[in-house]
Structure 1
Amino acid sequence: MTMDTTLRPALPAIPSRRTIAWLLIGGFLGLMAWEIWARFITPLILGGPLEPAELVISLVRRWTGYELARFPAEVAHYTIGIVGYPVLYYIVSRSLKSWALVLDIGVWALFTLYLAGVAFTGGLMMGAVLFWLFVTVLTATRFINPNSLLADCLSWGSFTWFNALGIMAPLAGLPFLLLEWGGGLSFMSYAGHIIFGFVAALVFEMKAGRQA
């Protein structure tokens, strides 16, 4: 049976304790899946782990000049993953109609426009094209996926990747989507964020979303 999540109730003024608990549990489980991907699987492919704490450090350095220590940067990373993104998911998914489709179109369009600009200057590499093709195909599965909940959860994962590398990375003085560094790091981050966002959103929706 298709699970339609397009039409949702208006955002409650105060979420229930059950809603909050499952948001945090979903965020925690999603982050643990991310950690396995980032710290254990990614090094086998790239030779080193994904380092979201370094992005936090770069952001603080760029905007304040302060050199944040590793421990508080890791705390910020865990707080964002367990609390920040789940709360943002709840607000977005409960207050915006067709939110997942909007995010899908936005991420795909901006990624495509950027690569088109790179291609215009003659700097487009085959790895980036294959990456774009993967993102395009995965995004397009929304139109054939019989389960709208699963499609929406994938959309949320894609958005968390774009937020980290398409918004936060440039704000930290790093390349857009980190594609100038090759593409391998960006792709592994994309896969990791897909896993994180998908797990976090799915756990919440399956356990408490229908009552939220």
Structure 2
Amino acid sequence: MTQSSQFELSIPAIPSAPTLLNLFIGGYISLMAWEIWSRIITVWVVGNPLEPPGLVLSLVNRFAGTNYDLSMQPANANATAVHYFLGIVGYPVLYYIVSRGIKHWAIILDAGVWLLFTGFVVLSLVWWHSFTQWMGIFWLLVTLTTATRFINPNPLIANCLSWGSYTWFNALGIFAPVAGLPFLLMDWGGDLSFMSWVGHMLFGFLAALVFEKLEARQR
């Protein structure tokens, strides 16, 4: 185990078969909630669905020099399969590694997401001159949600919210720019980014909560 003054890292135990099953159950339930939010509710609110397979194709296009889009088959089906795999298997396994391997992981993720988003908003205001009122409202909502950790009497709920926030930033703050898309998709008006934030909060929260509840029942 390696240590620093801020956090500790350790290699978590290899999960047992029941633990893996619990992870995948949590991933499946949370992915279904995401699909309802992204394909139905988001369309009702902003007129377009959230399309994680589109992000997958953008990454492929960026690094493979291809020109796939969601209208093409089997590219769409393949990207959707990757999206489902990440939702049911990838993110839950990553949650297990992070939550069991990094001390104070939730606080670290909260601080990282908030600081990077805040830095982007500040630069938009004073340097790029692209700040909008909606961006400020969005930042305030993220800040208030993050700050609930300080008054939340239930550490599990607070940690699950932290995981949801991280999954949003991981998708739109890291992989979207890597794929050549705007940071957090804010250059596209911010409405899809906001709906994605809510959807990822729901997804990550449920994935972590269902898993932890199932694990607690087996102890």
Per the alignment, residue 61 of structure 2 pairs with 61
Equivalent residues of 1:157, 1:194 under 8 A apart: yes
Per the alignment, residue 33 of structure 1 pairs with 33
Percent identity reads: 58
1:1-212 superposed matches below 5 A: 11-12=12-13, 14-68=14-68, 69-120=75-126, 121-208=128-215
**SS at 1:70 equivalent:** helix
- For each residue in 1:8-57, what CA deviation from the matched residue of structure 2 results, as whole angstroms up to 9, or x when unmatched? x9721x21111000000000000000000000100000101101100000
Q: Which amino acid aligns with 2:215?
A: A
Equivalent residues of 1:19, 1:209 under 8 A apart: no
Write the distance in 1 (CA, Å) between the matches of 2:180 and 2:216. Answer: 37
Q: TM-score, normalised by structure 2?
A: 0.90
- For each residue in 1:75-120, what CA deviation from the matched residue of structure 2 results, as whole angstroms up to 9, or x when unmatched? 0000000000000000000010000000000000000001100101
Stretches of 4+ aligned residues off by more than 2 angstroms: 209-212
Query: What value does the CA root-mean-square deviation take over the aligned residues?
Result: 1.6
Q: Which has the higher contact order (CA 8 A, sep 6+)?
A: 1
- In the comparison of the two structures, how many residue pairs are matched? 204
Q: TM-score, normalised by structure 1?
A: 0.93
Per the alignment, residue 4 of structure 1 pairs with none
Q: Which amino acid aligns with 2:145?
A: L
